[in-house]
A and B are shown apart, each in its own frame.
Chain A
């Protein structure tokens, strides 16, 4: 990676104005000032979205899955698509915060906090779906857990859905703890800067008495490293397990050994696209361009490009294997993906996930917001459709007599749109109340923070 001219540290915080005090002030500004009209407007929109989600959610539980478009051949529809989509979004956060941390990719510091927060919220949103999609969520909520019960019935450890329960709950817990651990020094900073008693109290409690002592920092670093180590395998395992839902089935188009790596690549792909989508807006409105620089975006775009090639490879390999296997049902399933009732969705998927991201080969596009933004948005859309296309393998499986198309209802759309509302609500609250960039880490890569930098603060 060639260091851009205007920076002193590769992927570091840029610009002469980035003094350590200024980093503190800039990062703290969003949660120390009165909310701007922009924030309030965004929050209102997000709240409306969240309300749509809530209404659709409650309506589904009150009335039944019949309020969705699902039917007998197509048992899963939008809900599981959304679930896989949001779980995938979460992956970027863990990848950035854990794997890149272990690989000493210092440029990650500016975006790690935000990406982690996004992970948490994406997982929270994702977790809504497995529950609400069951026929009897009031029972599923605890029967899916391995709790001893009077009937002596145990959960079925052969079911990939149960593996999901373990994988996703582990993921959610580890991500949460990882995120929170990273937050502690910054919460303490927020506490120390706080002028209002309530703020002081809340941040005080949340920062768990952090004093910034050398010992504390040592423990903190160890814990952070430990969590990074714990999270790293999860990046690979969670989406692999999610892909088992499909891969272990007998349904043509689902029964595919390529799914685990393909899903992981796809998850990272969509996750980075989502991080880019959000962070481009955030850095602008919270004026953090000097902390989250164009270099960061460039690096992220490169990862988007690489993962796009991976999913593109997977798409082609799926088709090849379907043909090479010679199995009539497999061949048909993939022909049907491209030319069946949901061929349009397949076309969107390929266009958004494979064709458009190729533009990122060009440096100019990678480093220009207005060019890259449509591309990352397209990737978000494309990845949602990827999951949709996979799940729609159900509409034409083995026996033509049972084939039936899936037509989503307004409740399906409500849950889809609403899930973004819920996600954004959580994200905006995060921006409002917590430091969106890891202050301590950002300082560590700021000009002058390094012993070799020449400027001792």
Chain B
């Protein structure tokens, strides 16, 4: 592949105006063949003969003798050394280059900034200023993309009938089958870029009668079809939640998995400052537990099949008739006071309210929600419209099945895996009816294994592409590395076949590859093209308003079955619809709400579990129609009664690497929301591996809760009362009898905390600190995955996590309080607090953990002997020990070594590790300052977690800068330190969360939890 045009996007601006055409990629990639890696000759800095002392001479002598003995036995392998005399432009060995690109793995093409060192992409960030994602934020899957790129499981050669063949042979076979084929079926994802779409059109011209289908196993087809009918175009409703004062989510995890989550989170978090101009209120009626429900001010457990009653009742109540709603509330157990508040709020905030409904709900609900939003005047205010979204409406799976059953001559599957995730039954049989099947994918998954021709795909980061970002904006994706395993991007496959079939089309015949096709499709001059590449996108967002909904008759869904069960097949907050099931990073990241790793489980209310007579790890059998699956049970507070929530995409059998055999495949049941029969099934107790076991921060062995004051929250009333109190006393004086000095603590501060050690003066240089706003965290896990990529954090598997040995440097603690059927949730990202009076530092016998003059708690891996005393003495238990050689275990192929961030030490067995506040980034920022003594400006350093956080809940900076970010965060009256009373003097400040409960429901101060 030629990648002559790849142009670094240099955020520092140094490269501005630099001549383009840098052959950076090509050159950088040439060195990637392992045998050709430039090897810096390990020449010993031996002292010259004249300097040689007797001691040195003895050393040299013994060294020589040893070398002689060893090398006498083993013949060293020959290795070539290639000097980098022909260095790519901009590239300096070991120095990062940044390229703009577009993330094409999800339905929303966010801008990407790819960090590349020595030709290897090693970190992805959101692209700042990108129309979809101006903050340059990330989702977890975005961060984890690199795992899939370097996944050794990827298919390495085209295969025909299971045997390796060359690309030309494979192409010949495909073209041969296509020639003269009467019925051809082309199945792709719904997220083809404009250039790919154009190519598909050419393909269909060359292959008359070819059918093209968009296959998405769990995409919101129903909702999109409703929108198409009510709003008159196959578009997508967009949100501007920054304008919303009241948001109602009906089973929509809009902050986690549903829709443009980065945009939703950005808008939502903008309104979540209790001292800000607008402090929005979020109502969530949901079936399972999601990050969105966690962030709710009022959460109503909702039986999903009763969503119709909810919406209809609400619509009538807004019209002044609240009888239906209260009747339904009585029937389904909704809190009437909360509903009353909701109706009041919506009525009072017309024009500043939005209602969002989850994709799995029936069409009737979506159309009702559309009219509800029209009633509330959401159009143009809180909701917008994208008539040309990146994702097309997915084809009805029944149509695909029908087309296959008709026995097509050729069926081509590009980037989809219906053999695994086809909703419902019958796909395998139908596939057998196709006379010739071709499948292309990253790994040899179930569909590739079943196909006659299996082709390795290039990863999105190895491919050229474009995307319809938003109205008026087009994004570009450029390859960051040559295909590692000889894969070819889907566009190139289509182009090759079309070229072979469309005889006589000279223009097409001259199109060398998809890159050329893309470039000609864009039709830009070289300078404009390079500019576009450097920027990552072109155009500016056009304003489009949500049309007024047209009434459309959708059938009313059936009433909830009394005594029956609802089953929700939800998207997983990490692995989505299962497309990232081979990504072990995402598998080992805990699910936001139940903290389960490496599994999909049947989450159900504890009361439902006891009604079924099952406990954690028991099995249930879920039957929908003819199909049934057995799932392990997890009783989870907050899940709606008689509702089973589980995640799709699990249970892979082929091509998922570590993901093979993980979880249960529920695709056979169907898609979305289903009515099911549920019974207890026999089976051995199943080990469900979770990173957290106790969710009650006031856990006690008696009836009196132990007030720990770890994660703090309060209501507006409590906050107002707290603010009205006299100024807070000196934070160094605390009352140890009642936990932490913090909001909304009463003021009983007796014992001054003193420090025995000499106080260190941190005022000269920087003093690093981090602040986390609990009111903003939605539990999306992006910080965890960003940290994993940035800091080379290992995964160690389900069993090790079950033993309590998860390796995350930052984790999101989750605390529940209140009634089991609808607890209040608090999330608390927890990482090394970099205590100034660190208990870990005093106890290390070998001085392997020390304090830096800038207030960092440093861990010296080379010096660590692994007594684990530091972690024992860590009150936050944020240190992570390498109980085995995890790095070695997870590295099943040398290619994975390319993924590692070269600026962070890879840890070995027996060594303690922990959050470093991204010290490599601090140092990089210092190097970038021309005068080394110069003080870094506020915001000059961003930690990986901070950079990724879509809600901007994390702030990092120099606490010595007066009025700086950290200074401001620490002076907030919501600020507190966790476990302040034990005098470890942490450098991470938390801001208590204010739950914006409706004033009618705000209870008087009882001393928060």
Question: Which residues of A pack against B, CB within 8 Å?
Answer: 63-66, 69-76, 133-137, 139-140, 143-144, 151, 153-156, 158-162, 165, 245, 248-251, 325-329, 331-332, 335-336, 339-340, 394, 396-405, 407
Q: Is the CB of B868 within 8 A of A135?
A: yes
- Complex-state Cα separation, A151 to B850, whole angstroms: 15
* Nearest chain B CB to A59 CB, angstrom units: 12
Most buried by B among A69, A159, A161, A397: A159
B867: which of A73, A133, A154, A401 is its contact (CB, 8 Å)? A133
The answer to whether A402 and B877 touch across the interface, beta carbons within 8 angstroms, is yes
B911 on the A face (CB < 8 A): yes
Q: How far is the CA of A412 from the CA of B818 in the complex (A)?
A: 40
- CB contact between A135 and one of B699, B842, B876, B912 (< 8 Å): that residue: B912
21 pairs from A and B in contact (CB 8 Å cutoff):
A66-B800, A69-B803, A71-B803, A72-B879, A73-B871, A73-B877, A75-B868, A76-B869, A135-B864, A136-B864, A136-B865, A140-B846, A156-B844, A159-B842, A249-B843, A251-B875, A329-B708, A332-B700, A397-B875, A401-B695, A407-B803
Residue of A nearest to B698 (CB): A400
Q: Are A159 and B845 in contact (CB under 8 A)?
A: yes
Interface residue from A139, A401, A404 paired with B815 (Cβ < 8 Å): A401
A65 & B910 in contact (Cβ 8 Å cutoff): yes
| A73, A133, A134, A401: residue with the most chain B Cβ atoms closer than 10 Å | A401
A243, chain B: closest CB distance, angstroms: 14
Contact A250 B982 (CB under 8 A): yes
A65, A331, A335, A396: the one contacting B881 at CB < 8 Å is A65
Whether B873 sits at the interface, judged by CB under 8 Å, is yes
With a cutoff of 8 Å between Cβ atoms, the chain A residues found around residue B20 in the complex are none
* List of A residues within 8 angstroms of B883 by Cβ: 64-66, 70-71
Q: How far is the CA of A66 from the CA of B880 in the complex (A)?
A: 13
Report yes or no: A135 in contact with B910, Cβ–Cβ below 8 A.
Answer: yes
- Max chain B CB contacts within 10 Å: which of A160, A249, A405? A249
- Complex-state Cα separation, A158 to B843, whole angstroms: 7
**A64/B879 in contact, CB under 8 A:** no
**Cβ contact within 8 Å between A401 and B881:** no
Chain B min CB distance to A139 (Å): 5
Q: From residue A393, how far is it (CB to closest CB) to chain B in Å?
A: 9
Is B847 in contact with chain A by the CB < 8 A criterion? yes
- Chain A minimum-CB-distance residue to B805: A71
CA distance A401 to B694 in the complex (A): 6
In the assembled complex, how far is the CB of residue B290 from the closest CB belonging to chain A, in whole angstroms?
19
Contact A250/B839 with A75-B872, A133-B867, A397-B877 known, Cβ cut-off 8 Å: yes
A75 touches B815 (CB 8 A): no
Q: A144-B845, A153-B847, A154-B847 are in contact. Are A71 and B804 (CB under 8 A)?
A: yes
- Residue ID in chain B nearest A158 by CB atoms: B842
Complex contacts, B739 vs chain A, CB 8 Å: 328
A328 vs B708: C-alpha distance when bound (angstroms)? 7
User: Which of A136, A245, A339 touches B701 (beta carbons < 8 Å)?
Assistant: A339
Q: Are A327 and B847 in contact (CB under 8 A)?
A: no
For A140, what are the chain B residues with a Cβ–Cβ distance below 8 Å? 846, 865-867
Q: A64-B910, A135-B912, A250-B984 are in contact. Are A331 and B706 (CB under 8 A)?
A: yes
Contact across chains for A398 and B804 when beta carbons are under 8 A apart: no
- Within 8 Å CB of B814, what residues of A? 401
For window 795-817 of B, CB contacts with A under 8 Å fall at 800, 803-806, 811, 813-815
Q: Which residue of B lies closest to A245 (CB)?
A: B869
Instruction: Name the B residues within 8 Å of A159 (CB-CB).
Output: 842-845, 869
Interface membership of B884, Cβ < 8 A:
yes
The verdict on B702 contacting chain A, using a C-beta distance below 8 Å, is yes
Asked whether B697 is an interface residue with its Cβ less than 8 Å from the other chain, the reply is yes
Q: Is the CB of B865 within 8 A of A134?
A: yes
Residues on B with C-beta less than 8 A from A403 are 693-694
15 more A-B residue pairs beyond the given contacts A401-B811, A401-B813, with a C-beta to C-beta distance below 8 A: A134-B910, A135-B868, A135-B881, A135-B882, A136-B864, A140-B865, A155-B846, A155-B847, A156-B847, A158-B843, A250-B839, A325-B736, A332-B701, A339-B701, A401-B697
Q: Which B residues between 28 and 50 are near A, CB-CB below 8 angstroms?
A: none
Which B residue's beta carbon lies closest to that of A144? B845
Residue numbers in B under 8 Å from A400 (CB-CB):
694-697, 699, 708, 710, 815
Measured between alpha carbons, how far is A280 from B706 in the docked complex, in Å?
A: 49
Interface residue from B695, B839, B843, B877 paired with A72 (Cβ < 8 Å): B877
B979 at interface by CB-CB < 8 Å = yes
Q: Counting CB contacts under 8 A, is B863 at the interface?
A: yes
The answer to whether B62 has its CB under 8 Å from any CB of chain A is no
Q: Are A153 and B846 in contact (CB under 8 A)?
A: yes
Give the CA-CA distance A325 to B735 in the complex, in Å. 11
Contact of B846 among A69, A74, A156, A335 (CB under 8 A): A156
Report chain A residues within 8 Å CB of B708.
328-329, 398-400
* 9 tightest A-B CB contacts, nearest first: A135-B866, A135-B910, A71-B804, A75-B868, A66-B883, A404-B804, A401-B813, A402-B877, A140-B865
A153:B863 contact, CB within 8 angstroms: yes
Name the CB-closest residue of B to A393: B872
A69–B811 CA distance with the chains assembled, in angstroms: 22
- Minimum CB–CB distance from B274 to chain A (whole Å) comes to 25
- B803, B828, B866, B871: the one contacting A134 at CB < 8 Å is B866
> B971 an interface residue at 8 Å Cβ cutoff?
no
Complexed CA–CA distance, A153 and B863 (Å): 9
| B979:A398 contact, CB within 8 angstroms | yes
B851 contacts the other chain (CB 8 A): no
Residue in B811, B815, B828, B876 whose CB lies within 8 Å of A398: B876
Q: Give CA–CA (A405, B702) in the complex, Å.
A: 20
Q: Is the pair B909, A162 in contact by a Cβ cutoff of 8 Å?
A: no
Q: Which of A63, A134, A326, A340 contacts B736 (CB 8 A)?
A: A326
- A250-B875, A250-B984, A327-B737 are contacts. A161–B843 as well, Cβ < 8 Å? yes
In angstroms, Cα B694 to Cα A405, docked, is 11
Q: How far is the CA of A398 from the CA of B910 in the complex (A)?
A: 25
CA distance A71 to B691 in the complex (A): 12
Please indicate the chain B residues that have their CB under 8 angstroms from the CB of A63 in the complex. Answer: 884
**Contact string, B844-870, partner A, CB cutoff 8 A, digits 1/0?**
111100000000000000011111110
Given A65-B881, A400-B815, verify A336-B701 contact (CB < 8 Å): yes
Give the residues in chain A near B815, CB-CB below 8 Å: 400-401
* A63, A153, A402, A405 pick with most chain B CB within 10 angstroms: A402
Chain A nearest CB, measured from B263 CB (Å):
30
- Cβ contacts under 8 Å, B881 to chain A: 65, 72, 75, 135
B517 to chain A: closest CB distance in Å?
Answer: 51
CB of B796 to closest CB in A, whole Å: 9
B446 CB within 8 Å of chain A: no
Closest A residue to B837 by beta carbon equals: A250
Closest to B736 in A: A327
Task: Say yes or no: A335-B701 contact (C-beta < 8 A), given A66-B805, A66-B884, A134-B865.
Answer: yes
A250→B884 contact, CB < 8 A: no
Cβ of B805 to closest chain A Cβ, rounded Å: 5
Question: Which chain A residues border B979 with CB–CB below 8 Å?
Answer: 398
Bound CA–CA A250/B871 (angstroms): 11
Known: A135-B911, A399-B710. A162 touches B845 (CB 8 A): yes
Interface centre among A135, A159, A160, A335 (most CB of B within 10 A): A135
B326: min CB distance to chain A, Å: 38
Does B692 belong to the interface (CB within 8 Å)? Answer: yes
The answer, among A65, A76, A156, A326, for a CB contact under 8 Å with B872, is A76
Report Cα–Cα, A65/B909, bound state, in Å.
9
Q: In this assembly, does B898 line the interface, its C-beta being within 8 Å of a C-beta of chain A?
A: no
B736 engages A64 (CB within 8 Å): no
Given contacts A63-B884, A401-B830, A165 and B845 within 8 Å (CB-CB): yes
> How far apart sit A332 and B696, CA to CA, in the bound complex (Å)?
14
Q: Once the chains bind, are B845 and A64 in contact (CB under 8 Å)? A: no
Give the residue name and chain of the B residue nearest to A402 (CB). B877
**Closest Cβ of chain A: how far from B804's Cβ, in Å?**
3
Q: Are A340 and B701 in contact (CB under 8 A)?
A: yes
- Distance, CA A339 to CA B982, complexed state (A): 25
Which residues of chain A are near B880, meaning CB under 8 Å? 72
CB distance from B739 to the nearest CB of A (A): 6
